[in-house]
Chains A and B, each alone.
Chain A
Amino acid sequence: MRNHTPVPTPQPGRSTAPPAVRATAAASAAVVALTLAACSTPAAATPGIDDDSVKVGSHQPLTGPAAAGFSSISAATKAYFAYVNDNGGINGRTIDYVVKDDGYNPATTQSVVRELVQEDKVFAILNGLGTPTHSSVLDYLDQNGVPDLFVASGSTTWNQPDEYPGTFGFNADYVVEGAALAQYARDEDPDAVVCVLGQDDDFGETFLEGVELALGADGVASYQTYTTSSEDVTAQLGAMKEAGCEVNLLATINGFTAMALGTAAQMGWSPQWYASSSGGDYPTLVGFLGEEVGPALLEGFVSANYLQNSPGSDWYELFQQINDEYNDGAPFDGNTVYGMSVGYLFAEALAKAGDDPTRESLTEAVESGALVGNGILPLTFGADDHAAYDGVGIAVVTGGVQDFVGATYRVDGDAVAAAEPAPVPLENEGIPTP
């Protein structure tokens, strides 16, 4: 018997498990524990970490229809880790990042995550991408006590400390983004007719919740949805145009943001566009729309973000440098900044998890509230808050450059309010210290 075998420990948060099962599980746990004790296994039980290195894993869509636009994230994270490793690592340990392709298919996610945990024996899972994909392994990671850090999705599912004590989100959640964009629209023009185009899943619905938080239940003139399987939004935009929409809030991924803008332009309609951070990256959108028409269509385009995307900021320049040196100079866009910021946050958590980190000390470090990250607002992690950001800044494209305009909003409970941006300064060349 192997020492890493997952023990079916009773999970206090698993509401689905009836008492009988919990009792059974508890009994099994006891027996397994005894068996394990009987086996002559070394006490250094934490997998994936030794004195020289730490191994973390991730599932990302590298192939399939969802790969476009997302596959560059893990490459950027890898590049950042290579930079850290070249500079001595964290507490003397290098970071080994194992990325597996799941093609955005939950079935594959389930398989590769088990492989990462059981075969590759990773210390933690980092930045698993996608709501339907990552949801399908939440229980598994929880039952096996694997830290599940900084999930790449703005679903509110990740922020359930009681149910999933080891899971932490990274994105500002869709409620926050929806609320902030809607409030900005209201602040800019109190009388504007606001509409929402959303993906017909968790993304669109949670975003709409946020929008209604800011505008009230009847503040949205038209809510239209699209499915990723049909690359045509003419009918939806026709309805929005007819409803007299002036500001269109988009809960769309980059490809469909581009489709929406392109289709509206073809209809001869030019409303204002406000996109979430998942579908508001300027270089990516220009890639979709083409160099000829993209920049013109995107002038004045509003989006939300929480990372230091400002061209010219210290972080941006450092990341560009790392990208040139460790990522073969791959195209530098929002995904690059995102991937490297995820890497930085993990490195920081690792640095603050003690000289001999365990899985417990890693999650404790995140919950301690000691992490500062590199966003434009302070992190909000705590024992009862597993979301990274409760606010976002507003960025606007001006003259082909996407930059923050200073307007920043935070969501506290059911209220959205303006806040002061507080960008985290760059320290120690972007290598976190304990």
Chain B
Amino acid sequence: MTRSPARPGTRAPRTTRAIVVRAVLLTLLALALTFALDPFRNYQLAVIAATFCATAGLTLLVGLTGQLSLGHAVLMAAGGYGYALVAGPAAEAGLGGTARFALGILGALVLSAAVGGLLGLAGARLRGPYLAGLTLALVIALPALTTQVPGLGKDQGLGVPFEAVPAPLAGLMVVEQWHAWIAVVVAALAVTPLVVLRSGRAGLRMRATHGDEVAARLAGISPARVKVGAFVVSAVAAGLGGAVLAVVTQSVSPGRYSLAFSLLLLVAVVVGGLGSIGGAAAGAALVVLLPWLVEALTSAGGLSADLEQRLSGNLALAVFGALLVAVTVVWPGGLAAASAGPRGRLARALRRSRADDGPGPTSDAAPAPASDPTSDQASYQAPDQTPDPLPITER
């Protein structure tokens, strides 16, 4: 795999300790931020944090191993149902507080890891579009699954026990802020291991598998194991996000985890920059806030009722689609690349898209190993991810 020298200005996390320290600082910052927000903004922050869990896992999966999952909503749903199926009975059994929450989270972990593992096994055998097809069929089948499997509450879903503000904090905050705290902390716990993995050997293996499976195999890496591992890790993160959403909204139902939501997660990671965790955070904020912003704009604009009704919902969708197209075509690094030096990236992207004009996409048909770092967006992250020469502890 060819490698460009690390550019100045990129901050690649070097050691696990540095990553954890940074994560703790960011988490504390986010927790402090909640005091500046009103309840609705705190609710939005909680939803963003939950979505971030899923996009962080997805960006790793798509960006590093090159597996396109259209079913990440199902993995979030698995986490949500896992939580509800354990926390609900726990509440009925009289259990409360931290124990119930922890058990619920455990349920979310188990169920999402199981679903992720199965998908990973499929992903290890299937190539791009075939995996996309399978995950698409899965996300379409989710409502049917919840209707047909007893105990999943059909289309109304399941209720989730209410998590009140603990007594010592009750004077400090209202329930929305407490839920934002839960969401931020769980997101930190879900995402930090991903960052550690990404910057360590596991990340290197993922990129190697994506770059050239044969070469990876020669280097002693088992592509199947790497792919399954990536899927499970990504699924667990998404599942934690689903559990958080279940807690925050006190319910889990199939309607939330539709194909449209799966595609929005994809929008988030592409616009954020494939492979970039920071980009995944920005993308998560974008998909949560943009529809609300657009709605606020259209309803404030003094439009006719009919036009407002037609724009409502559709306009945000159009913006998402346009962003997805524009970022992929013009600006393949996404927001992450933008923050790392917009001009250089843009110029490179333009140069490359011009260079590709001639042959046209058919040249793909040639079984060219994608060893060229410009072969897709994912590899754009390569410079940031130059592996540490020193062995890194993977915990």
Contacts and interface: CB of A to CB of B under 8 A. Distances in A.
A20 B96 contact: yes
B174 A32 contact: yes
A19 B171 contact: no
B95 interface: yes
B165 interface: yes
B328 interface: no
Q: Which of A6, A132, A140 has the most CB of B within 10 A?
A: A132
B292 A115 contact: yes
A28 B166 CA distance: 7
B167 A24 contact: yes
Interface residues of A, number: 57
A132 B155 CA distance: 6
B261 A6 contact: no
Contacts of B96: 18, 20-21, 24
Given A31-B170, A136-B157, A139-B250, A6 B313 contact: no
Contacts, number: 156
A63 B314 contact: yes
Interface string B77-106: 000000000001001101111000000000
Interface stretch (A102-110, A164-172, A282-290): A102-110
B94 A18 contact: yes
Contacts of B376: none
B256 interface: yes
Interface stretch (B20-28, B38-46, B355-363, B365-373): B38-46
Contacts of B253: 106, 132, 135-136
A301 B249 CA distance: 42
Interface string B150-165: 0000111101011011
A202 B156 contact: yes
Q: What is the predominant secondary structure among interface residues of chain A facing chain B? A: helix
A25 B250 contact: no
Contacts of B155: 131-132, 201-202
B91 A17 contact: yes
A170 B47 CA distance: 31
Nearest to A32: B170
Interface string A119-155: 1000000000001110110011001000000000000
The contact size tier of chain B is 35 or more
A20 B162 CA distance: 12
A143 B174 CA distance: 12
Contacts of B43: 111, 114, 118
Q: What is the predominant secondary structure among interface residues of chain B facing chain A? A: helix
Given A62-B309, A62-B313, A101-B295, A143 B40 contact: no
Contact of A6 (B97, B161, B175, B251): B175
Contacts of A114: 39-40, 43
Contact of B171 (A16, A32, A62, A328): A32
Q: Which of B96, B170, B175 has the most CB of A within 10 A?
A: B170
Interface of A: 1-2, 5-8, 14, 16-21, 24-25, 27-29, 31-32, 34-35, 62-64, 71, 75, 78, 100-101, 103-108, 110-111, 114-115, 118-119, 131-133, 135-136, 139-140, 143, 157, 200-202, 227, 229, 328
Interface of B: 38-40, 43-44, 47, 88, 91-92, 94-97, 140, 143-144, 147, 154-157, 159, 161-162, 164-167, 170-171, 174-176, 249-251, 253, 255-256, 258, 260-261, 291-292, 295, 305-306, 309, 312-314
14 contacts: A5-B174, A6-B39, A14-B162, A18-B92, A24-B96, A24-B166, A101-B309, A105-B256, A106-B157, A106-B253, A107-B249, A107-B256, A107-B261, A115-B292
